[in-house]
């Protein structure tokens, strides 16, 4: 599961890089088309005409701007997804770490016996005695103390 999230995040990072390169690649054609339109606007008199070339240039600038907006939006979405994946990966790693620690503690607790020498009994914790008979739970400590 963690490996899947890591792989997916790596793929997203690679795709984001491709999107960024694509966005950078659209700058040159936009600059050229804008410069051509500016040159056409500087014409005087009868040289200044609105023809099919100018319409095509305007359409090209509009399309490039729309593509750039779409690429920027897609890059933002990819960045949000990368952040979400990294947060999910961190949560999964923390959960796995907690489960591993609990598993180690359970394994140690499973092998424990009352006779183990490193068990420390604390005040207020009921201790089990072999010679103690327990009639009710609330009287168990009292009976144990009277029998010793």
Q: Per-residue pLDDT tens for 93-131?
A: 888 888 888 888 888 777 777 777 666 666 655 555 555
For 85, counting Cβ atoms within 10 Å of its Cβ (0-12 exposed, 13-18 middle, 19+ buried), the class is buried
Both tokens assigned to 11: 């793929």
CA separation for the pair 108, 89 (Å, rounded): 29
Q: pLDDT (tens digit, 0 to 9) for every residue of the chain, 148 residues total?
A: 788 888 889 999 999 999 999 999 999 999 999 999 998 888 888 878 888 989 999 999 999 999 999 999 999 999 999 999 999 999 888 888 888 888 888 887 777 777 776 666 666 555 555 555 555 444 545 444 444 4
Exposure on the CB side of residue 44, measured as CA atoms within 13 A: 0
Polymer length in residues for the chain: 148
């Amino acid at each position: 599961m963690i490996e899947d999230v890591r792989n997916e995040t790596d793929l997203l990072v690679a795709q984001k890089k491709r999107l960024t390169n694509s966005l950078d690649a659209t700058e040159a054609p936009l600059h050229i088309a804008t410069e051509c339109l500016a040159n056409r606007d500087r014409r005087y008199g009868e040289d200044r005409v609105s023809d099919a070339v100018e319409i095509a240039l305007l359409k090209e600038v509009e399309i490039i701007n729309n593509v750039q907006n779409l690429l920027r939006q897609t890059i933002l979405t990819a960045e949000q997804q990368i952040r979400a994946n990294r947060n999910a990966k961190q949560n999964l790693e923390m959960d796995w770490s907690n489960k591993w620690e609990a598993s180690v503690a359970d394994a140690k607790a499973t092998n424990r016996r009352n006779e183990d020498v490193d068990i420390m009994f604390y005040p207020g914790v009921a201790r089990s005695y072999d010679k103690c008979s327990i009639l009710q739970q609330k009287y168990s400590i009292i009976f144990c103390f009277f029998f010793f």
